[in-house]
Structure 1
């Protein structure tokens, strides 16, 4: 019997922290100073987490009419106006202004579209990423898309999941749901792709693992059509052919270090992805049991239960048992790290 989706408490609006308000106001000042028509939107996980009442410090800002580098240059030009004279008497410090201008970085990959370029700038002690809204075109044998400028709706539909496709429009202080179901799926606790799941996964098979990771992390239910697509032969082959072992290992690390590692591994097993994700040499002695996947999950489950049982234990700096405390923060990373290394063998 299929599990019922959880009922999730989702806020009607986003409450900004004082620092977030400070950052967003500064960006709007830049827009007004240069008479720009640019719409500033916070994208993805920050919006999702804020609606769930969780704090998030990963702010990615999408721009509708310029590259991230170009907007960061506007910020620097604006701030340079306030480095002398009367600006020294303003409420913000000159140290912060210097921090803006110095701590800016630009990242691009010459082998990919220039529209994939991301700029990063430090504002009020927080790193902010700036990138333009994008639309994607995929080739048959690569998960790396060709990028072009896109609309906010196109950018939302290219996202991996509907719950990650939401925007917070800084100009209007409002949440935007261009897929029409991001907030609905968040409230109903469902993992759904904006576009048909098989097409989504064939374009970028890594999205299968991300869907599993977010499903386990939030305790959400995987959409039935998504599960069928994730376990089909074409998608399984695409995972093996298009994704490097390093990228797969990174996703597994995030699952193992998350709050529901057993659930994540169980999803992988149930979707018949275990042999694709945890590949083994063609000839192994002794022979691998047909129940190897369930056996592995059993070991992970035992390790996770061990963490719970020794939750009152701690280790000193030499990683030796010293006694019982109320803090398990020293134990969990060690055990999870060992589970992660074990899970990535092969």
Structure 2
């Protein structure tokens, strides 16, 4: 069965509300009646998409057609207090500016029955050349709001008055059913307004295993969009998108898309001066190692295998935490030390005096028979709970005597067996407790 066919089967024709969702929406409508407010209330974006895909969603974005989000949120809370349900709401409807979530308008937020509810008006936006922050904002129609969003599958509305899904782009539902990532407006215009949408398109594509539209891929790879990504989007936001990609189950596919769209060096930018020079095809090699590591992790099926929550080491490129960058560097240093110990740990042979130079001063007085245990103990003290990760990297780098007749699966199984052998040796030595 094809991926597209699966999506057709999974997309609902009508949204089925939970009891809590029904109660929330009933209270919103009651607030309108209580204060005689003349506005339409819709749910926008991700909640609608996920409900149609029969997925749970605990983040509801409420869009109002002619009223500010904070004004309506205050009215809702006032109504809930009047009927004795104010205790169910946390948050006081304060204005919340949150650029990390692309929210630049006045927004109110509250926690209600363990659901995160955000309130904002429908909007029409215009962008200036060197910024992703809109230069002009105004009340918009549902059509204008839908068209200014990143993807058609994220531009759907659920009208709580009519209990119906509204598809103002005329293709949001069809793209959801066919499994396609498409922009509401021509993709280049959409990306130039906010270049971060390029990475969001990749992230949603791999998350749902949808196909990127061909016109979208052409626009994403063009120089104008890549230049805009560098000029208009902060490193923090790029880093956040990469973090979300890596945290999912399709990290390799996401990085492959970034390579295919020639965005790799825009995302993982390098300092102005560096040595040694980067070889041609380096980005493909990075993805290949990530792919092998990912497959090897799944092949090992190691329940105690601890993978650090870390993405890439370039702090200035992705603006991630400094301790994460240090962790990656420590892992790479430890993996190179493991490389020199693998032959002995795999064969139970003694370590010869000239085999290792990274701790020579510490083992000068240690007998040859004890050197493997001592050096392994020092190494595991250094890397602590992440020693299996360092070992994994070293296994990826270690030559395993591959011949021309072996396929990729056979090579991967060889590395799996080598990992298990070395891991068992370390545990038998008791060095992991050193």
TM range (shorter): 0.7 to 0.9
- 1:54 counterpart residue number: 55
TM-score, reference length from structure 2: 0.68
More helix by share: 2
Structure 1 range deviating more: 54-63 or 281-290: 281-290
Question: Which is richer in strand?
Answer: 1
Question: What's the counterpart of residue 319 of structure 1?
Answer: none
* Match for residue 139 of structure 2 among 149, 171, 184: 149
Q: Which has the higher contact order (CA 8 A, sep 6+)?
A: 1
Q: 1:236 aligns with which of 226, 231, 234?
A: 226
Cα distance, 1:108 vs structure 2: 3.9
Task: Give the C-alpha shift of residue 309 in structure 1.
Answer: 2.4
User: Which of 90, 93, 107 is the aligned partner of 1:118?
Assistant: 107
2:36 paired residue number: 35
Answer yes or no: is the 8 Å Cα contact 1:99–1:123 preserved in 2.
Answer: yes
2:117 paired with 1:128: yes
Aligned residues: 309
1:106 to partner: Cα distance: 2.2
- Structure 2 gap segments, 5+ residues each: 318-434
SS at 2:228's partner residue? helix
CA distance in 2, matches of 1:60, 1:307: 37
Corresponding residue for 1:218? 208
Query: Alpha-carbon deviation of 1:101?
Result: 6.7
Match of 1:248, SS state, is: helix
* Residue of 4, 17, 31 corresponding to 1:6: 4
Could you tell me how far apart the structure 2 residues matched to 1:177 and 1:343 are?
41
Q: Highest Rg: 1 or 2?
A: 2
Distance 1:101 1:244, change over 3 A: closer
- Which residue, out of 162, 165, 170, partners 2:152? 162
- Aligned residue number for residue 281 of structure 1: 271
1:318 aligns with: none
Deviations 1:66-125 (A, max 9, x none): 001110111122123234xxxxxxxxxxxx522427544321489xxx980110122223
Q: Is the 8 A contact 2:90 2:112 kept in 1?
A: no
Cα distance in structure 1, aligned partners of 2:286 and 2:275: 17
Give the SS at the match of 1:60. strand
Shift of 1:33: 1.3
Q: What do residues 260-282 of structure 1 show as CA deviations (whole Å, max 9, x unaligned)?
A: 00000000000011111111123
Structure 1 counterpart of 2:25: 24
What is the CA deviation profile of residues 243-276 of structure 1, one whole-angstrom value per residue up to 9, with x for unaligned ones? 1111111100000001200000000000011111
Distance 1:179 1:140 in 2: 26
Question: What does residue range 147-296 of structure 1 map to in structure 2 within 5 Å?
Answer: 147-296=137-286
Determine whether 1:341 maps to 2:312.
Answer: yes
Q: CA deviation at 1:186?
A: 0.6
Measure, in 2, the Cα distance between the counterparts of 1:191 and 1:268. 15
SS in 2 for 1:105: coil
CA contact (8 A) 2:146 2:169 kept: yes
Q: CA RMSD in A?
A: 2.1
- Distance in 2, matches of 1:174 and 1:77, equals 27
Contact 1:206-1:243 within 8 A present in 2 as well: yes
* 1:217 CA drift (Å): 0.8
- Residue 36 of structure 1, CA deviation: 2.0
For the Cα contact (< 8 Å) 1:115–1:149, is it kept in 2? no
